[in-house]
Structure 1
């Protein structure tokens, strides 16, 4: 339901048989010996491969909650807001430091997976840091042994390396936690993608998608993607999960029907069957939405029952209002929309990498001729070919900031789909942070 209403939118025996026979026998003996040797080598190789496979497969994930004080930074109020730039930048600095500590160590370099800052709180001598550390070790390893090894690596680093942050060693505590506790802790943070084995999912390298694209490869790859459906009519638009109960989408999705009781929302990589389904209890369309110009094309929808966060259902981060993405920044758009102009809805979620395009370029006479306002964001490619399309409306355009994903755009409109010089136009989320907060408290 992407809007196209601004312009015509796009391998005898001889005399000496005894001697001859003996020569053949020696020849075949050589062949047999060679084949036998090759077979032994192959069997050994396969055995090594199998052993290596099972040893690797026998690795187990270990999770720890780390807590410590940092004494050379002062607490800022925005550290309490996990989506703020201050929290994000400080968290990235701390996580990079932990990565350097464990990946440079010869004994732990191949075992450290990732870290995530969960909370930054005030302390009279600086700040308190709470974070999750993830490692992979053989399943026969003892948690106590691993904990001691991790502590030794950290303490040695604090003695011998110059660190950007001053960690108060006596304050450092490390507590083993199970995968459920780890997941619950990470649920306090937005924009994190996890595999079913509770391992972090790195940024996707897809370069294709919706129009000229590929299906999403892993369940939980885009856990905030939702499908908005009219009861009896099926999928109408995409939406993005921003909390346990709130979704964000495009205003034009509700042009014909604003009655929340006529709508349902589903989550998962397929529309049928869905992973989770909920009813809507409230729809809020931006008061200044104008269908003639597509301005303020943003709406909120609240579910009647909350969803539980998991590896396959998770909220995205909302960006700080001051975030500005330069042109050609890689962003990803996802949806269940058609893969050709006016084609059918896709049952399997699809994805694409596109690039941001400056408003100046997008407003050129040969592009959108001045129709792009400050509340809009262009993304795609000037040569076309990759784009969102009908049925993707209201869905997310997301940006990866060190494996934390932020919603920067909402699929809004465009001229047809994937045409040259007619990129997709999205509602610029940063422009509406105050409005979103005023309606949802998020």
Structure 2
């Protein structure tokens, strides 16, 4: 419904009423003008204060301590193991509880467990702590505040893990040391400022897409290129020398000397380029049925991990993602069916779809095998496409990213009831380990 404007005649709208209103509005205008000036001055002071006084920067600390109410397990030494991951998340949640609601609460950013080691009393923990403080503060001043908050929390909070108080050591480290320590952890995305990057909220890419926001947003993404022919497929870095991709990428040419791999958010120019030493296709790959569509690529020389190039985590074979789990797919592929390759990396949020639904007669009619995973939307619209093959489908677990799928096949791109089909990585953990030792 629309409201019609109220109409007045000249007789109804007297001059006296007009003058009272005029005086009233003059006072209001003056008050508003004064408020505006005050607000502008306040904002200007705030901006100056922010940049001159409160120019926050990141401070990094290496924290080591003993936990005495748990026993060391052999798999704690394997960073991709379920035991290490679950215990790390428990410790990181405890750090958030200790610092998030303490006197340094607004300054605490996050923690990342680096190492779990055996100790006679329990388990030795090594973790990186990240805080934001004004750049005028010193690392030693902040260290004292952190220690005070920790000791106060140990007195007042009931924690799931028992920290041996005398064992606690806090050492300031610089951003380079912090980055080197986090490089030992897989699946961590870094921005150019070396800060761990939160999960992207983008819901578009590839078909119906947007370009990736910044260099280093998906640092394990690689482009596999045939020399002289350009980009053919995507791939994912799983160590400094191994890439995980799809077997069908090599059905025309599997001569490693003809291939190169590049890294970075653009194909041209690449951030890093490497020659290929070896290509390993799954022995039981069947092109007709798309079964076992998985391959490994070994680089001729290893890459150096950085903000731009990082490895993604391999999932434990026991990980199961329920339907409608949010996952992300990335690639340089077409944004329309049979369109050109994109020079800039693109991304999309999609959702896992159960095998039962995907095998319905009106969807893929029984073609989905246990080694396959469906993801997308039943209404279509968002999907991987030609040129994205071999690229990663990743899952975020507490800001640690795991590759759960490899772009494999689908009917056209983004059609209703024809979601993307991915190689289910958890089914191939033993195969990957047998070829790479990982």
TM-score above 0.5, yes or no: yes
Say whether 1:104 aligns with 2:98: no
- Residue of structure 2 aligned with 1:257, choices 253, 256, 261: 253
Deviation at 1:37, TM superposition (A): 3.5
Distance 1:57 1:159 in 2: 31
Q: After the TM superposition, which residues 144-293 of structure 1 pair with which residues of structure 2 at under 5 Å, given as runs? A: 144-293=140-289
Q: Is the 8 A contact 1:55 1:138 kept in 2?
A: no
Deviation at 1:53, TM superposition (A): 3.6
Say whether 1:375 aligns with 2:375: no
The 1:408/1:36 distance shift into structure 2, 3 A limit, reads closer
Highest RCO, 1 vs 2 (Cα 8 Å, sep ≥ 6): 1
Say whether 1:436 aligns with 2:432: yes
Distance 1:249 1:122 in 2: 36
Post-superposition CA distance 1:164-219 (Å, at most 9, x none):
00000011101111000000000000000111111110111111111011111121
Alignment partner of 1:110: what SS?
A: helix
Distance 1:61 1:82 in 2: 26
Say whether 1:86 aligns with 2:53: no
Q: Is the 8 A contact 1:411 1:426 kept in 2?
A: yes
Deviation at 1:39, TM superposition (A): 6.5
Post-superposition CA distance 1:131-166 (Å, at most 9, x none):
000001111101111111101100111111111000
Q: CA RMSD in A?
A: 1.8
Post-superposition CA distance 1:340-393 (Å, at most 9, x none):
111100011000011111111111111111111111000011111110000000
Alignment-derived partner of residue 76 in structure 1: 73
Alignment partner of 2:248: what SS?
A: helix
Post-superposition CA distance 1:241-286 (Å, at most 9, x none):
0000100100000011101111111111111111111110110011
Alignment partner of 1:184: what SS?
A: helix
The 1:165/1:225 distance shift into structure 2, 3 A limit, reads same
Say whether 1:66 aligns with 2:57: no
Q: Is the 8 A contact 1:191 1:316 kept in 2?
A: yes
Distance 1:402 1:30 in 2: 56
Distance 2:281 2:29 in 1: 80
The 1:320/1:33 distance shift into structure 2, 3 A limit, reads closer
Q: After the TM superposition, which residues 401-412 of structure 1 pair with which residues of structure 2 at under 5 Å, given as runs? A: 401-412=397-408
Distance 1:39 1:402 in 2: 44
Say whether 1:46 aligns with 2:43: yes
Deviation at 1:56, TM superposition (A): 7.6
Alignment-derived partner of residue 317 in structure 1: 313
Q: Is the 8 A contact 2:351 2:377 kept in 1?
A: yes
Deviation at 1:422, TM superposition (A): 0.5
Q: Is the 8 A contact 1:69 1:127 kept in 2?
A: yes
TM-score after normalising by structure 2: 0.92
Distance 2:373 2:226 in 1: 28
Moved over 2 A (4+): 29-40
The 1:57/1:257 distance shift into structure 2, 3 A limit, reads farther
Deviation at 1:30, TM superposition (A): 8.0
Q: Is the 8 A contact 1:285 1:300 kept in 2?
A: yes
Alignment partner of 1:86: what SS?
A: helix
How many residues of Structure 1 are paired with residues of Structure 2 in the alignment? 416
Distance 1:328 1:60 in 2: 38
Deviation at 1:48, TM superposition (A): 2.2
Say whether 1:400 aligns with 2:400: no
Q: List gaps (5 residues or longer) in structure 2.
A: 1-22
TM-score after normalising by structure 1: 0.91
Alignment-derived partner of residue 18 in structure 2: none
Deviation at 1:57, TM superposition (A): 6.5
Distance 1:342 1:37 in 2: 61
